[in-house]
Structure 1
């Protein structure tokens, strides 16, 4: 059964001339993507296909105004026909099931072969193969987009954002880390970590900038190399201290240490008794302890007693050493099987949650040479196999419990990355980690953006990230088929690098570049003249825009739609005929029912008709409307 309804609001879905987009799913990415679509163009119609049972976590996309909601548990051909995919401009499949999204894409293609598809997939290798099956398709991974931001935040560096355009490679860096000649534009003033100022009017105040790559390693890789070198320098001392602590805490280790102390003591006392030097005393002690001594009745009673004690100690020492080795091997095997750690660690990164994002973060940190300890409730989590293959210790348990964090040595780690799908667990783990180590760098994933900002300020959590918020602009750009080149995350905000075409008759023709960049939230970094392919980087503000030019801009996500509309020519207004003017000025006839618009001659059309009152969508015969 399929149910449809239209959420009351300013946008109506009755106008079939406006572009129509379908979104399938019900998590936070769907919520942010729908908001991106509605903000991009007021004329867009959006239909969301959700299951009957709502997920308890995350925002409710059904509460958005002006969105048509279709309830269906199966994404089959009947569901897509009911939702109107045949006339849609694009379809986004955002369920967290790669195989399910592929099946839904095949069903949608059977109904509408030409519809543009945007498919969310975790397995990017599978996605590359699937993309070739469809004529117009984009395969994106929100985990791949967001993971670099989490990794950079864990290392205290800027997110490694790269893009290549016009034969040049650009990246995000701190102003202090680049040369002045490599500067392209300022991105943000982060002097206030709680309220970063994006694209400030005074570019000199921006400490986060866009720069041209000139053979310099990004900040994330430099930070990782520093940490690896520091860990290697500390490795011998840490290994000896760790071995001594773990050895002395076991009963069998204590017994071995006692026997060794007896051997050393009596070996030291043997030298004056036998009237030999130090070397001979060590030799006699070792031979007596390992193989026993021949009986010598002519020796003094003290020497004979020492020989007996050393022989007995030797009989106990060898089994104790054997038992200690076996005990260590068994404990290591048990730790590998059960996920318990038997040793303390220092300078590592603890990753909580091995879902889509946590698996990516763990893999990228390991590739950078950073030691990682993983925590997840599910022993068969998505990233469990990768953790086993990378020899990453994995603790199975609830990260909200203090003993689980203690087992991961959170008190000596350099960062705690909490990326599970449960906001309550994430927040509790972050607070417990901060209690164990007050200066701990915490990277927290929360689905609710407003809650994340308030927690970041109230609990002094260093960084909070929303995967869906970071990935939504790229999904929206792919669905709208816009030329978005890159997405730059800045704290909990995002900047877009996009190409804006300037059509003849548009509002941008004749304007100077300085006038376009003057409003907050827009920065023109490149200009490509009509009929040319060479990009002029950092053009002067006095240059005027011509028809056919292409602007490369860094823009806030809310301003991209406005800029694209200004680059599109507006349709000319139709002349108003006298009949139409008289009809619009005269009152409605007396025989017209109240509340209905006055009838107009069929030959006369208004220049811009008002939207008609909302009409319910006729459901299929077998369907029941909401």
Structure 2
């Protein structure tokens, strides 16, 4: 069912060729629709399971925003009929953002059959399966037009993980609160505001915009989804405008925020030399997690057994008389089936012996299982390092689930000291932390003293990344009591709750940096960039406008061939910001410039391939590949020319 006519949007425009379709059942679909429609100006059709549950009401309100072209189709499953109703036959791209991998794969296969020229962006949790699906669907596209390369066809299948795409921005927020981050070529790039009169910094790559007024009110703070508007901001201004405005108006520059990330003096994540584990017996006992061996489960079972033994011993003493110690001793022997059969004793003694034996048969296997479980957790926890007391200037990561594991990998690859806190010793990130020798506390972060032991007072930032909003909030509030000016980043699922928490903490701690983030809001720009083609490296909101970062081959654009970097600059349209330094035959797909591959147990970051400090006089050659920062208008010009060349190749 569609809330709009099947071939028209709410603004009355007909369903155009090249529109985009988003299918999802959680916050990622809503965020992605906003990125494409409100920020990138695309016509978007959204398929949601219900208009009255989840994010359905928010999408319905988005479709009524003036100037935003959103059409909504209500369907429980993305079957063939639903995809056809959404206009799959003449769509440019389809994003499958359901929370279930199988649903996304099934819909992707159907969509490729219904429209072989469609760009597909698939959300997958299983990365290895996603890689196979990506190769399968790309081969199907190539088999249909064997004479054309993938860039010429502009057809691709991109498999993304929302967790993997959100991790770089969480890391950036921990460093300096940056938002709208693009991970490219081993760097984290973001738009940084420079007030009037601020001198140029070494990490500033280029000027992106001249601001209409002062800096926005903490633009990197809360997650919000508002309709766009230029508001007087000049995107990609020329040098004369920049020089004229530098003293009286603020600038937005492209900054590489981790170009010189601070490195640990010793092995990444490991403790300094003075903080190694003590060799004395006292020091070893202090660091062994004995509380895990005597866990709450073990203590509860032992307590119940003790109460039962005391009760049966009391009954036996009252019934048989004699010494109370002898009654307790006989009861314990009966529980552990170590006593002689009471064949010559009284009937009461025989009944008590049978009762004690049955209780022992029940409790002993349960106690054994609990002890074995605790010993396994003890072995796992005892092999993790404890935070050294001298450690400082580190980042505390609370929660080592999917998000925490990826963030830990990102921080480790940038040689940042890390201390982790995780309640579950079997969490997926604990094994990674152990292999990287990262100090880890196997404790509940809400327990008193845990954050103090993690060194929050001496840390540079804390990231609360558990799956529980209340746990993250409690951890942040406890950390702020220890250190009021601590920089914190919270993972919160509910967007309204995130905005409320952000405003409250900002007002309560005005001198501290607070960031509340949801994974869907952080990953949506990467999904939007993938939907716009392999050549889009990222989408970056700047003030109230938006810039697209795209990689192009110079030979395909006559306006670039033979021009210097300065002469190729088109104010308000595009600007050359980097050049691929690898030989043409050794270049990989432009889709992976922004990828940092993190695998379980082995971390690697692609070696730099892009020159971000181009001389203005460098002359572009046909064999060059360059990265452009473009406005929406400039990207449309480049895209129209690419489509014209592809059509010409098809005709030939």
Q: Which residue is equivalent to 1:120?
A: 123
CA-CA distance at 1:184 after TM superposition = 4.2
CA-CA distance at 1:426 after TM superposition = 3.0
Aligned-partner SS, 1:21: strand
Distance 1:58 1:338 in 2: 44
Describe the shift of the 1:199–1:463 C-alpha distance in structure 2 as closer, same or farther (beyond 3 A): farther
Equivalent positions of 1:201-220 (< 5 A) are: 201=242, 218-220=259-261
Of the candidates 147, 160, 166, which is equivalent to residue 146 of structure 1?
166
Q: Which residue is equivalent to 1:592?
A: none
Of the candidates 103, 106, 110, which is equivalent to residue 103 of structure 1?
106
> 1:521-567, CA deviations, whole angstroms, 9 ceiling, x for partnerless residues?
97543699xxx9999985769x9x9xxx9984335xxxx32332355
Distance 1:208 1:153 in 2: 17
Distance 2:162 2:83 in 1: 24
CA-CA distance at 1:360 after TM superposition = 0.6
Of the candidates 358, 364, 372, which is equivalent to residue 404 of structure 2?
358
CA-CA distance at 1:27 after TM superposition = 2.9
Of the candidates 445, 462, 472, which is equivalent to residue 513 of structure 2?
462
Structure 1 window deviating more from structure 2 (455-464 vs 424-433): it is 455-464
Distance 1:17 1:332 in 2: 63
Distance 1:358 1:236 in 2: 25
Equivalent positions of 1:225-624 (< 5 A) are: 225=265, 231-236=271-276, 243=283, 246=286, 335=378, 346=389, 347=391, 349-366=395-412, 368=415, 370-375=417-422, 383=429, 386=432, 393=440, 395=442, 397=444, 399=445, 405=451, 410=456, 414-446=460-492, 448=495, 450-451=499-500, 454-455=503-504, 457-458=506-507, 459-460=509-510, 461-464=512-515, 465-481=517-533, 483-486=535-538, 496-499=548-551, 523-525=575-577, 552-554=627-629, 560-565=631-636
Distance 2:383 2:626 in 1: 56
Equivalent positions of 1:5-24 (< 5 A) are: 5-6=3-4, 11-12=10-11, 15-24=14-23
Q: Is the 8 A contact 2:187 2:259 kept in 1?
A: no
Q: Which residue is equivalent to 2:229?
A: none
Q: Is the 8 A contact 1:340 1:395 kept in 2?
A: no
CA-CA distance at 1:183 after TM superposition = 6.7
Distance 1:491 1:363 in 2: 31
Distance 2:549 2:130 in 1: 24
Q: Is the 8 A contact 1:350 1:417 kept in 2?
A: yes
Q: Which residue is equivalent to 1:29?
A: 28
CA-CA distance at 1:88 after TM superposition = 2.3
> 1:399-445, CA deviations, whole angstroms, 9 ceiling, x for partnerless residues?
56657656766556553211245544433321222113334331223
Q: Is the 8 A contact 1:101 1:120 kept in 2?
A: yes
Structure 1 window deviating more from structure 2 (193-202 vs 439-448): it is 193-202
Aligned-partner SS, 2:106: helix
| TM-score, length-scaled by structure 2 | 0.54
Q: Which residue is equivalent to 1:93?
A: 96
Aligned-partner SS, 1:565: helix
Q: Is the 8 A contact 1:466 1:492 kept in 2?
A: no
Describe the shift of the 1:120–1:424 C-alpha distance in structure 2 as closer, same or farther (beyond 3 A): same
Distance 2:416 2:504 in 1: 31
Distance 2:21 2:548 in 1: 23
Distance 1:247 1:525 in 2: 51
Describe the shift of the 1:380–1:82 C-alpha distance in structure 2 as closer, same or farther (beyond 3 A): farther
Structure having greater relative contact order (Cα 8 Å, sep ≥ 6): 2
Gaps of 5+ in 2: 64-68, 142-155, 221-232, 291-371, 586-609, 642-652
> 1:305-358, CA deviations, whole angstroms, 9 ceiling, x for partnerless residues?
xxxxxxxxxxxxxxxxxxxxxxxx999866457999996655464333444322
Q: Which has the larger radius of gyration?
A: 1
Distance 1:68 1:207 in 2: 34
CA-CA distance at 1:92 after TM superposition = 0.3
Q: Which residue is equivalent to 1:613?
A: none
Q: Is the 8 A contact 2:45 2:73 kept in 1?
A: yes
Q: Is the 8 A contact 1:92 1:118 kept in 2?
A: yes
Distance 2:125 2:289 in 1: 44
| TM-score, length-scaled by structure 1 | 0.56
Q: Is the 8 A contact 1:224 1:369 kept in 2?
A: yes
Distance 2:268 2:253 in 1: 26
Describe the shift of the 1:47–1:425 C-alpha distance in structure 2 as closer, same or farther (beyond 3 A): farther
Aligned-partner SS, 1:6: coil
Q: Is the 8 A contact 2:384 2:434 kept in 1?
A: no
Aligned-partner SS, 1:440: coil
Distance 1:334 1:6 in 2: 55
Distance 2:579 2:380 in 1: 59
What root-mean-square deviation, in Å, do the aligned CA atoms of Structure 1 and Structure 2 show? 6.0
Describe the shift of the 1:478–1:10 C-alpha distance in structure 2 as closer, same or farther (beyond 3 A): same
Describe the shift of the 1:498–1:248 C-alpha distance in structure 2 as closer, same or farther (beyond 3 A): closer
Q: Which residue is equivalent to 1:596?
A: none
Q: Which residue is equivalent to 2:2?
A: 4
Aligned-partner SS, 1:481: coil
Q: Which residue is equivalent to 2:58?
A: 60
Distance 2:638 2:5 in 1: 32
Describe the shift of the 1:84–1:336 C-alpha distance in structure 2 as closer, same or farther (beyond 3 A): farther
